[in-house]
Chain A
Amino acid sequence: MDARSLLDQLFPAGHTVAFDGIFFAGTGTSGSHAVAVIGTIDAAPIGIELAFRMAGAVLDVVRHHPGRPILLLVDTQGQRLSHRDELLGINGYMAHLAKCLEVARRAGHKIIGLVYSQAVSGGFLASSLLADTCYALPEAEVRVMNLPAMSRITKIPLERLESLSKTSPVFAPGVENYLRMGAIAALWQGDLSAYLAEALAAPAGEDTRRILGETRQGRGLARRVAERVRHDAA
């Protein structure tokens, strides 16, 4: 789904979102809420300028609109791969965006992520995965790496990976896998504005993705191992 029709469906009561290249930002109306919207289009590679710009948009909301919820609609093919981005410290820019979102969270802004098209690797880490809760459209593409590339790097035959990925959600691309593993709370199908209203009304709490992943039998160890390290006698 393209971003403009997505915004129209999320905010039937109206929105003022301005597009500038691959970046967009603005405000939508959901019931009685004004919702800050920050996103990207065209499977944007997230480089230093874009991460910086998104961070600025987050700080702007915290500074000028206390408590206003933030909806992240980030379409990304991952971090931008370039010598220049590394030279200037792209990991620092990504971390800065993460810290800005944390400042917003601590100041009482609800943060919702919706993967509407693509979410890949470092670009996913630095955006939707930082939300209180992350949702996705069923047609969304979520991955770290496609299987042929993974096969080349790990030297595991492609056929083997393909057959294992039918039962294991752990390495293969697919929004269903991320749903099973607890990173995506739910898929939104149908009346998107109703889903958004529901998400805005839900209480923001702890990071419960491990529990969800265990309940859905997609990530059996993360919760248990973390609990043991937290509570075991040294």
Chain B
Amino acid sequence: MSSYYEASARERIVGLLDGGSFREILPPGERILSPHLLQLDTPAAFDDGIVVGEGALGGRKVLIAAQEGGFMGGAVGEVHGAKLVGLLERALDQRPAGVLLLVESGGVRLHEANAGLIGVSEIMRAVLKLRGAGIPVIVLDGGQFGCFGGMGIVSRLCDAVIISEEGRLGLSGPEVIETTCGVEEFDSRDRALVWRTVGGKHRYLLGEAAHLVADDIAAFRAQAIAALDLRPDLSLEALEREHAVLGQRLDRFGTCRDGIDIWRNLGIDQPERLPLLEAEAFIAITAGKRA
């Protein structure tokens, strides 16, 4: 077992892809860093917190991007966003088997908030355009900072989210909600509550994530290889089906106060034990019960 959660962006890429196949584009030696951070006397990074490149996965060509949570929580600034947009557009030209997005981000980087927000919007458009061209985009979510803000929206534009129990996925982070609305709305220090709300197991049961894996780079790799066979479907019928599913979610779970209420509603016996289960046992026990 090699922990995905503990690994850096580059370690994750190397562990996921076929041995020796990764080639980085605009590596740190190119010194493409954020001028906006420098202007605010904030330390910059030579890759602006995102690694992009190409390689092979199970013998098939892929493009890959990995956000580095260790740099500003993986937040999106102008350069960071542009690197991701450029990679998605490169995929339009090169037509790889798929694009892997190793997300780990708090969303827009406040130091360059406007550039970050517009950058996220460009990423959204580029993901949709690429999927429209028939190339699957697969999200891996299992890093220390989770996936929030605009990147939380981006992730759900993709073909599949592969998440670990440690992964988190949402829009407004618990701290943001607590700061704005008070601790009674969301106690961000109640870790169990955070996991039951935005954690990997809940996202998997709700259908927001396609697959749950153990915190193991090899497990992510196996699931990502399988996901390359997905075929993007942006037809009106596909979106009408998704609309029906999301409508049912509102009707069925709209009054639930906690993840446990939702899991009980799904017909899962003793739902309070779910957080304690290992991924494999959890998947077995919840089989056929997902929303």
Contacts and interface: CB of A to CB of B under 8 A. Distances in A.
B79 A98 contact: no
B48 to A, nearest CB: 9
B290 interface: no
Contacts of B169: 91
Contacts of A172: 114
Interface residues of A, number: 77
Instruction: Name the prevailing secondary structure of the A interface residues.
Output: helix
B181 A81 contact: yes
A225 B111 contact: no
Given A88-B249, A96-B246, A154-B111, A234 B23 contact: yes
A91 B156 contact: yes
A207 interface: yes
Nearest to B132: A106
B128 A98 contact: yes
B81 interface: yes
Interface stretch (B9-17, B34-42, B212-220): B34-42
Contacts of B32: 221, 225, 228
A186 interface: no
B82 A226 contact: yes
A143 to B, nearest CB: 8
Contact of B126 (A49, A143, A207): A207
A170 B25 CA distance: 26
Interface string B167-178: 001111010110
Interface of A: 48-49, 52, 55-56, 59, 62-63, 79, 81-96, 98-100, 102-103, 106-107, 121-122, 124-126, 129-130, 143-145, 150, 153-154, 156, 160, 164, 168-172, 177-178, 181-183, 207, 209-210, 213, 219-232, 234
10 tightest Cβ-Cβ pairs between the two chains A and B: A229-B86, A95-B156, A234-B23, A91-B152, A226-B86, A144-B113, A225-B82, A129-B121, A91-B171, A102-B128
